[in-house]
Amino acid sequence: MTLPFTDRTWLWLAAALYLAGFIQGSIALFKRGRPAGGATYLLILLGYLAQLAGLALRGRAVGGCPLGNSFELYQFTAWSAITLYLAVGATFRLSLLGYFTACLASTVTLVSLLFPSWDAGQRVRIFGHNPWIELHAALAVFSYGAFALLALTSLMFLLRHFSLKSKRLGGWFSFLPSIRDLDQMGLRLLAAGAAILGFALAVGAVSWTRPETVVNLEKVVVTMVVAGAAFALLLLRLRGILPARRCALACLILFPAALLSLATVEPSRGRVPARPAPAAR
């Protein structure tokens, strides 16, 4: 089946739909004093389908998972976060999670689309027909999507904590889930992200130990640092050493730190010759 648009056209459409969800949610929040709920969820779902179509076309073109440059890494991270949101969205349909998710998705996708140089290093079969490395990369970036949703729930936790401390329980604060529910959801997302990233490292180790494999040491170190930070936060929280509020603050920082680290872990660097930069579409 041939889709009617190019991959970047689909991705622009996805970004526009995510932005529409954020704008529509903002109007509902500030004019009517409540989140948009189903309308925002629908716009995010449509954006997700458009982004999936764009990534599928790109994956077909490069012969594998589209993770060959900064543009694809950020797009895949946003797609991963939306995947998790859609999976748990029913639980939070009366909350502000959809609004914050639309904001995050529109920001990440639009920023990556607005910098053509991020998409200049696209390569074919960047994983060299090695399914272990491809699985490792896909799982690692997917875990960053879990950390993205974790950052949003952590932000909501801090807002709920502020509302309780300042006794501001009305307005849109009333649509936030309870502080206990947010703490539990954050803990589960932290555990999921740490587990997925830990498994990704284990899968990568299967290939890294082979003598013919060229290992990007910088990539391995950065990924291990992010995984170590996630596991440390999880352990400290489970043992009660780290209070819920401080854990939420740390988790809020974890995602942007992981996002910035993507610049150092491009799997295509130094593997195969680059194709010419794609023509403007």
Q: How far apart are CA 90 and CA 131, in angstroms?
A: 34
Hey, what are 263's tokens?
A: 């610049």
Is the model's pLDDT at 261 over the cut of 80? Answer: no
Looking at the domain assignment, is residue 83 inside a domain?
yes
Q: What is the pTM of this model?
A: 0.84
pLDDT the model gives residue 266: 54
Looking at the domain assignment, is residue 274 inside a domain?
no
Looking at the domain assignment, is residue 132 inside a domain?
yes
Using the CB atoms, write b or e for 13-48: b if 16+ within 10 Å. bbbbbbbbbbbbbbebbeeeeebbbeebbebbbbbb
Looking at the domain assignment, is residue 276 inside a domain?
no
Q: How far apart are CA 47 and CA 53, in angstroms?
A: 10
Count of structural domains within the chain: 1
pLDDT the model gives residue 4: 72
Q: Model confidence over 183-238: pLDDT tens digits? A: 999 999 999 999 999 999 998 887 766 655 556 677 778 889 999 999 999 999 99
Looking at the domain assignment, is residue 278 inside a domain?
no
